[in-house]
């Protein structure tokens, strides 16, 4: 994904102390800054996409930040070592005293951030995480990653996937991603998730959804959904859908006189023979024999 960040900013009393170094990646822009700040320096920043600021030195005693500009003194707080700023969230800064700082700016296209998180945590949790700001003073979990990424920006030596994986790990280590639910820890779907899946699949009528579609319906990653679905239902997603289609076929057979071929077409089977084969495997009888038994 070709991406270059869009950002409005204005600073006073801050100047670059070394050439800015950057690297453009897949949906990411990594920028390494060395700067000097005067006492009373100020800044304003607003980006269209999410971004991460990581400071290699502790500036909490020198820099105050706020997301409001109406009463900076009352609404400000110390700048943390690592800050995640969601898209569209403004930031004002003010420096108490002169100091020099080094920091890494990671600009993330929101779709790229979602694409990284969703396979592991699901759509809902990923959407929630990228909208929630984070400020972290204890950066021990991601400091080594940030230093490795800075080295790769200064002297690129590996394929871009290496730098991208470092960014991904920093994102995962910094963002406030909800902890696993008790149901997930137990390896099963919740009843609410099963109800949602059942309702959605009934609206389709043919009970033919891919695992990816089923996982997206209940806001889970495909890999996690596939691993817990059988523990929840006792069937694989394909077996479960087939059994639901046969249940629907039974209802149509019992309630009316539709030809078996028509029922097969209505429920998405390739032909009458396909329905008959699956029906016999699950119900133990052919559709015609089952209907006769019900009528008898």
Is there a single domain that holds both residue 81 and residue 161?
A: yes
Examine residue 2 and state whether it is found in any structural domain, yes or no: no
Is there a single domain that holds both residue 20 and residue 111?
A: yes
Is there a single domain that holds both residue 189 and residue 121?
A: no
* Number of folded domains that form the chain: 3
Examine residue 1 and state whether it is found in any structural domain, yes or no: no
Integer Rg of the chain from CA:
28
The residue among 234, 255, 280 that closes a domain is 234
Is there a single domain that holds both residue 100 and residue 222?
A: no
Is there a single domain that holds both residue 200 and residue 86?
A: no
Is there a single domain that holds both residue 23 and residue 81?
A: yes
- The pTM is what? 0.63
Q: Are strands 7-16 and 77-78 parallel, antiparallel or unpaired?
A: unpaired
Instruction: Tell me the residue range of the domain where 197 lies.
Output: 180-234
The residue among 234, 257, 277 that closes a domain is 234
> Which residues in the chain show pLDDT less than 70?
1, 178-187, 204-207, 296
* CATH code at position 11: 2.60.120.10
Is there a single domain that holds both residue 12 and residue 157?
A: yes
Examine residue 228 and state whether it is found in any structural domain, yes or no: yes
Is there a single domain that holds both residue 170 and residue 184?
A: no
pLDDT for the residue numbered 178: 65
User: Would you say 65 and 91 are in contact if contact means Cβ atoms under 8 Å apart?
Assistant: yes
Q: What is the pLDDT of residues 126-171, one digit of tens each?
A: 888 898 899 999 998 899 999 999 999 999 999 999 999 999 999 9
Rounded to whole angstroms, the Cα distance separating 247 from 88 reads 50
Examine residue 149 and state whether it is found in any structural domain, yes or no: yes
Is there a single domain that holds both residue 289 and residue 226?
A: no
pLDDT for the residue numbered 182: 47
Is there a single domain that holds both residue 11 and residue 128?
A: yes
Is there a single domain that holds both residue 18 and residue 137?
A: yes
Rounded to whole angstroms, the Cα distance separating 28 from 171 reads 12
pLDDT for the residue numbered 166: 94
């Amino acid at each position: 994904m070709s991406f270059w960040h869009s950002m409005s900013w204005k600073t006073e009393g801050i100047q670059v102390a070394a050439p800015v170094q950057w690297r453009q990646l897949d949906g990411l822009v990594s920028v390494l800054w060395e700067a000097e700040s005067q006492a009373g320096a100020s800044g304003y920043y607003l980006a269209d996409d999410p971004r991460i600021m990581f400071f290699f030195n502790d500036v909490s005693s020198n820099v105050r930040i706020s997301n409001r500009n109406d009463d900076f003194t009352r609404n400000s707080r110390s700048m943390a070592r690592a800050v995640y700023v969601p898209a569209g969230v403004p930031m004002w800064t003010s420096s108490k005293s002169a100091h020099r700082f080094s920091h890494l700016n990671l600009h993330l296209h929101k779709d790229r951030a979602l694409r990284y998180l969703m396979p592991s945590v699901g759509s809902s949790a990923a959407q929630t995480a990228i909208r929630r700001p984070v400020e972290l003073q204890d950066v021990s979990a991601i400091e080594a990653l940030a230093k490795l990424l800075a080295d790769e920006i200064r002297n690129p030596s590996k394929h871009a996937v290496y730098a991208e994986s470092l960014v991904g790990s920093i994102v995962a280590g910094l963002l406030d991603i909800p902890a696993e639910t008790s149901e997930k820890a137990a390896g099963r779907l919740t009843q609410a998730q099963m109800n949602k899946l059942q309702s959605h699949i009934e609206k389709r009528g043919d009970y033919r959804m891919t695992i990816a579609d089923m996982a997206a319906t209940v806001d889970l990653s495909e890999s996690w959904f596939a691993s817990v679905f059988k523990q929840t239902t006792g069937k694989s997603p394909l077996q479960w859908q087939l059994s639901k289609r046969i249940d629907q076929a039974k209802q149509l057979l019992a309630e009316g006189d539709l030809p078996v071929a028509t029922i097969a077409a209505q429920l998405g089977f390739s032909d009458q023979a396909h329905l008959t084969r699956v029906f016999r495997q699950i119900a133990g009888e052919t559709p015609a024999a089952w209907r006769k038994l019900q009528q008898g």
